[in-house]
Amino acid sequence: GVGHRSTHARWRVSTTGPLVLFAGGGTGGHLYPGLAIARALVREQPAVRPFFIGAQRGIERDVLPTTEFPHELLPLHPLYRRQPWNNWRTLLGGVQAWRAISRLTQHDRPAAVVGTGGYAAGVALAWARAHGVPTFLHEPDSHPGLTTRVFSRGARGVFLGFPEASTALTAEEQG
């Protein structure tokens, strides 16, 4: 398959609670808040089943196998702004990731998708939007990145790490 899935022994095997996909990474600033949110969510609602989607080339490749959460690493790439000729990788990886997310959720529709920023979040958020799955965003940076700016409009909630980040989002985008 396209994705690389952890075979970590601590996978949650329950299929009774709501599945919540967490997508984000590339850097620790996008991944670690997602882990903290997932742990807090499980502490408050033990039946919730977090599942992480990340990039094969991001920090999540090394970090997620050491956590208690199931995950899948997909061939995601950033936008190559300084080398636009390399964006074929972004497009191809996006198509492959879309298909992998569709397979992953074929028999287990997620209750929500939480995007924590970075290029690893974009495809999962787009998939959720196309399939009517509620989205929530956490923006850890003082200036919202492209993923947050694109997907904040229509998100059920946008949670900011810095209050000044709200100035970069219009009132309509925050709603």
DSSP string covering 27-58, please?
Answer: SHHHHHHHHHHHHHHHHH-TT-EEEEEEETTS
The C-alpha atoms of residue 14 and residue 174 are separated, in whole angstroms, by 34
What pLDDT sits at residue 140?
86
**Res. 12: pLDDT tops 70:** no
pLDDT digits (tens, 9 = 90+) for 81-136: 899 998 898 889 889 999 999 999 999 999 999 999 888 899 999 999 999 999 99
At residue 27, what are phi and psi to the nearest 5 degrees? -130, 165
Question: What is the value of pTM for the model shown?
Answer: 0.87
pLDDT digits (tens, 9 = 90+) for 33-60: 999 999 999 999 999 999 999 999 889 9
